[in-house]
Structure 1
Amino acid sequence: YIRITDIDENSNKYSQQNIVSPLGILEDKYLVKENDILFARTGASTGKTYIYDKNDGILYFAGFLIKANIKNTSNSMFIFMQTKTTKYRRWIELESMRTGQPGINSKQYESYNFSVPSLVEQNKIANFFSLIDKRISLQQEKVSLLREKKQGLMQQLFSRKLRFKDENGEAYPEWEVSSFKEIVTINQGLQIAIDDRYTTPDINRMFYITNEFLRIDSQKKYYIENPSPSVICTKDDILMTRTGNTGKVVTDVEGAFHNNFFKIKYDTNTHNKYFLYYILTSVPIQRKIIQLAGTSTIPDLNHSDFYSIAIAYPCLAEQQKIADLLSTLDSKIEKEDEKLKSLREQKKAFVQQMFV
């Protein structure tokens, strides 16, 4: 069963992370077949598309999608690629504006004009983009495998199944167990109304770290004037979101931080910043944080609940080795992820050039 949310934002392929199956027997008209393209017809995802891949198996499409079967006189991949152009996105925006809310029906989709050269040329262009897609898929798989390796390594390290030895080949001391209250101090940031923020830097202004900053695609930057020292963080500090998207951890940033964050201070004589960063992002600790934050509409982690979380940690020397190993792997993931982004940008550029 394929829904709008099952279409990956980057690749536009069917995501099998949260598979659901329809109840009962559905009519064949809801079955997605070869040469079918699905179009999202409502909501913020209006215009989003998916082209059927036989490797995705038997799929039935959900009610917020429209199915179009491409005739044999055209190449379905060639048609699909035109839904990735600026021209198509602009058309989606204009059509949605006419109705007053995001949404395009089947009659409107039928009215869209595709550029259609000879079938021979369509096939050549489609094959070209299929090769690019294959390269992107291989690179995506490489990044995914590295991330899985990192998660597996973190599980081994923090469960103490994998241990380091010192320079003499001797085992390090056993790990200690403490609550966060015993090893760190935390404080919340400052809430500044949007009207009181600045969008340009200036003397006495400091970068304002908000949840918006955590979004990879965010272009917004805010600045505030003369914040108090208690809400200023340096690159030595660790920040963690305490409400909303609770549990997001960042470090190596400096500025004044929003009320949605905790600043986590620690003793550098006994704790390594990156070790704490990685243990905070580990699956068991993240699960505990989410659990304590609650399941309300806006999860909120209070001071006492955070302080109650217990962690195991080794001596400072072993912390350093663990942090160095994971940091090296992170650098490799970042490098391969940049290659992936570059390939996607190349594809976008080719699409715009090909369908001018």
Structure 2
Amino acid sequence: MTEENKSVKNFPNLLPKLRFKGFEGSWTSIKIENIAPLQRGFDLPSQNIVNGNIPIVYSNGILKFHNESKCTAPGLITGRSGTIGKFTFLEEGAYWPHNTSLWVTNFFDNDPKFIYYLYHTINIENFSTGSGVPTLNRNNVHNQICNIPPVNEQKKISSFFTSIDNRISTQKKIIEQLETLIKGVGYKLFNKKIRFKNTDLSEFPCWESKKGNEVFSNISNKNHNSELPILAITQEHGAIPRDFIDFQISVTDKSVESYKIVEKGDFIISLRSFQGGIEYSEYNGICSPAYIILRNKTEVNSYFYKYYFKSESYIKQLNKKLEGIRDGKMISYAYFSDINLPLPSLNEQNKITNFLSSIQGKIEMEKQILEKLKLQKKFLLANLFV
């Protein structure tokens, strides 16, 4: 034991809540600087990068490749400034840790992959300083006391978490493939490259084309019901009661008097919505007068347009309409009104909606599985480490 490590001790009761069979004895308490110390990465201005096969690891991962290296794997890199809390682990090969990152200079005969997971347990972002662009203070990280088992138990733990990460990676690929599928099929359906048929195999009638204001009205009914929930409008959740999600907004009783009433099945446009982001509401509620409320004038399947408004076909039309506008592509009802919307027969709308909903349902189910895997990993990180 080195002179600076005299404070390192083995405590009889220093054990994780969960432990693999066959391992005994207590874990060792030791400072990070004597387990896996960090060092600032190396300067490499963009103009000096020469295209090659050596990964350059920035604060948020591998972004570019160079023809020279500074280090050899195994490598563990985290953000020094900007993105803090993200870790990149390299199993093999040479790499260049960028000056926006910190890299582990010595694993001291510990299992490198175990150290990668150990670093996930210490909430490293709490060691950052600065109110503008946060910077990680590696000296404070080095003073953090961590607990580690013998290397054979380290390998068992890292192998276990690697299998979980592989499963999470596979789950993400499943979701990506399904999202690619629904996007590709949606493109073909909305551009009539593929068509459904009636149950008797007869052809559906040709699609009509209507202006936006022929299909949807601009609703501006003011709020007179204090019991209606305030809706948050997000790309991730659509229009959803703000109490359902972590959405902070300051609203007074007086301000909601000017809010607009939203009915289930309405569409909501933000005046500065990204790429024409028209969000569908599954709820009755109220929303800020800054939003445009669309309600169908004729009998349609609202879900048909829920998918269409997210399609490449619609977004391309809208962006073409907004070209040259200087106000940040502000969307108005007038712009929306002048866009041509497809209007298939209601039966064909239903067919398209049911098909796309079956894929979307599968995507949502796979996303739930992914979240459960992430929660499982979080629980195990908390209980397989001390």
With the shorter chain as reference, the TM-score category is 0.7 to 0.9
Of the structure 1 ranges 121-130 and 218-227, higher mean CA displacement relative to structure 2 is found in 218-227
Q: Aligned residue for 1:200? A: none
Q: Aligned residue for 1:3? A: 58
Match of 2:229 among 184, 191, 207: 207
Q: Distance in 2 between matches of 1:355 and 1:219?
A: 29
Structure whose CA Rg is larger: 2
Change in Cα spacing, 1:206 to 1:60, as seen in structure 2 (3 Å) is farther
| SS of equivalent to 1:320 | helix
Change in Cα spacing, 1:298 to 1:80, as seen in structure 2 (3 Å) is farther
| SS of equivalent to 1:275 | helix
Q: Aligned residue for 2:90? A: 52
Q: Residue 153 of structure 2 aligns to which amino acid in structure 1?
A: E
Q: Distance in 2 between matches of 1:100 and 1:224?
A: 30
Match of 1:267 among 297, 300, 306: 297
What are the within-5 Å matches in structure 2 for residues 64-83 of structure 1?
A: 64-71=100-107, 73-83=109-119
Q: Residue 28 of structure 1 aligns to which amino acid in structure 2?
A: S
Q: Distance in 2 between matches of 1:212 and 1:273?
A: 18
1:136–1:340: 8 Å Cα contact kept in structure 2? yes
Q: Distance in 1 between matches of 2:340 and 2:384?
A: 56
Of the structure 1 ranges 241-250 and 318-327, higher mean CA displacement relative to structure 2 is found in 241-250
Q: Residue 85 of structure 2 aligns to which amino acid in structure 1?
A: G
1:231–1:257: 8 Å Cα contact kept in structure 2? yes
After TM superposition, give the deviation of residue 308 of structure 1 in Å. 2.0
Identity %, equivalent residues: 22
Give the TM-score, by structure 2 length: 0.73
Match of 2:285 among 230, 251, 255: 255
Count of paired positions? 320
What are the within-5 Å matches in structure 2 for residues 270-349 of structure 1?
A: 271-290=300-319, 292=321, 298-349=328-379
Change in Cα spacing, 1:323 to 1:80, as seen in structure 2 (3 Å) is same
1:210–1:258: 8 Å Cα contact kept in structure 2? no
After TM superposition, give the deviation of residue 28 of structure 1 in Å. 2.0
Change in Cα spacing, 1:136 to 1:299, as seen in structure 2 (3 Å) is same
After TM superposition, give the deviation of residue 341 of structure 1 in Å. 0.5
Q: Aligned residue for 1:353? A: 383
| SS of equivalent to 1:114 | strand
Match of 1:40 among 71, 75, 79: 79
1:189–1:259: 8 Å Cα contact kept in structure 2? no
Please give the per-residue CA displacement for 1:245-297, whole angstroms capped at 9, x wherever unaligned.
4533233122111244322111342x210111111010221244355556879
Q: Distance in 2 between matches of 1:213 and 1:163?
A: 29
2:217–2:297: 8 Å Cα contact kept in structure 1? no
1:176–1:314: 8 Å Cα contact kept in structure 2? yes
Q: Distance in 1 between matches of 2:326 and 2:113?
A: 43
Q: Confirm or deny that 1:152 pairs with 2:207.
A: no
1:246–1:300: 8 Å Cα contact kept in structure 2? no
Of the structure 1 ranges 279-288 and 101-110, higher mean CA displacement relative to structure 2 is found in 101-110
After TM superposition, give the deviation of residue 177 of structure 1 in Å. 1.9
| SS of equivalent to 2:186 | helix
After TM superposition, give the deviation of residue 238 of structure 1 in Å. 1.8
**Please, which runs of 5 or more residues in structure 1 have no aligned partner?**
8-13, 193-202
After TM superposition, give the deviation of residue 172 of structure 1 in Å. 0.5
Match of 2:159 among 127, 132, 136: 127
C-alpha RMSD over aligned residues: 3.2
Q: Residue 129 of structure 1 aligns to which amino acid in structure 2?
A: F
Change in Cα spacing, 1:244 to 1:176, as seen in structure 2 (3 Å) is closer
After TM superposition, give the deviation of residue 317 of structure 1 in Å. 0.9
Change in Cα spacing, 1:130 to 1:42, as seen in structure 2 (3 Å) is same
Q: Confirm or deny that 1:175 pairs with 2:213.
A: no
Of the structure 1 ranges 112-121 and 282-291, higher mean CA displacement relative to structure 2 is found in 282-291
Give the TM-score, by structure 1 length: 0.78
Match of 1:220 among 225, 247, 269: 247
Q: Aligned residue for 1:195? A: none
Richer in helix (by share): 1
Q: Distance in 1 between matches of 2:313 and 2:165?
A: 35
Richer in strand (by share): 2
